[in-house]
Structure 1
Amino acid sequence: MFTGLSAFPLTPMSEQGLQEEAFTRLIERLAVAGVDDIGALGSTGSYAYLTRAERARIAQLAVASAGDTPVMIGIGALRTRDVLALAEDAQNAGASGVLLAPASYQKLTEDEVFGLYETVCRALSVPLCVYDNPGTTHFVFSDELHGRIAQLPQVRSIKIPGVPAEVEKAKARVERLRQLIPSDVTIGVSGDPLAATGLAAGCDGWYSAIGGLYPRIMLAITRAAQAGDSDQALALSARLNPLWALFQTYGGSLRIIATAAELQGFVSRPSLPLPLKTLEGADRQRLADVLERLDLA
Structure 2
Amino acid sequence: MPASTTKPPTFTRLSAFPLTPMDEDGIDEAAFARLVSRLASAGVDSIGALGSTGSYAYLTQAERARVARIAVQHAGNVPVIVGIGALRTKQVLALAADAQNAGAAGVLLAPVSYQSLTEDEVFGLYQDVTRELSVPLCVYDNPATTHFQFSDELHARIAHLPHVASIKIPPVPSDSDAARARVDGLRSGIPSSVTIGVSGDAAAVDGLNAGCDAWYSVLAGLLPKPCLAISRAFSRGDIEGAARQSALLEPVWALFRTHGSLRVVATMAEELGLTGSPNLPQPLRALDWAGRALVRDALQAIGVVDWS
Q: With structure 1 as the length reference, what TM-score do the two structures score?
A: 0.99
Contact 2:33 2:70 (8 Å CA) reproduced: yes
Which residue of 120, 123, 126 corresponds with 1:114? 123
- Give the aligned partner of residue 218 of structure 1: 227
- Displacement after TM superposition at 1:283 (Å): 1.1
Q: Distance in 2 between matches of 1:279 and 1:181?
A: 40
Which residue of 292, 296, 299 corresponds with 1:284? 292
Gaps of 5+ in 1: none
Which residue of 263, 277, 281 corresponds with 1:269? 277
- Give the aligned partner of residue 81 of structure 1: 90
Which residue of 173, 179, 184 corresponds with 1:175? 184
1:253 aligns with 2:264: no
- Displacement after TM superposition at 1:203 (Å): 0.3
1:189 aligns with 2:198: yes
- Give the aligned partner of residue 62 of structure 1: 71
1:153 aligns with 2:162: yes
Q: Distance in 1 between matches of 2:125 and 2:165?
A: 16
Cα offsets for 1:44-90 (capped at 9, x unmatched): 00000000000000000000000100000000000000000000000
Where in structure 1 do 4 or more consecutive aligned residues deviate above 4 Å?
none
Q: Distance in 2 between matches of 1:227 and 1:106?
A: 45
Deviates more, 1:137-146 or 1:161-170: 161-170
Please tell me the residue identity of whatever aligns with 1:281. W
- Give the aligned partner of residue 242 of structure 2: 233
Q: Distance in 1 between matches of 2:282 and 2:64?
A: 17
- Give the aligned partner of residue 16 of structure 1: 25
Q: With structure 2 as the length reference, what TM-score do the two structures score?
A: 0.95
Gaps of 5+ in 2: 1-9
How many corresponding residue pairs? 296
Deviates more, 1:237-246 or 1:50-59: 237-246
Deviates more, 1:241-250 or 1:254-263: 241-250
Which residue of 111, 133, 140 corresponds with 2:149? 140
Q: Distance in 1 between matches of 2:227 and 2:177?
A: 22
Give secondary structure in 1 for the equivalent of 2:11: coil
Root-mean-square deviation (CA, aligned residues, Å) is 0.6
Give secondary structure in 2 for the equivalent of 1:85: helix
Q: Distance in 1 between matches of 2:178 and 2:228?
A: 24
Cα offsets for 1:172-196 (capped at 9, x unmatched): 1100001000000000000001001
Give secondary structure in 2 for the equivalent of 1:291: helix
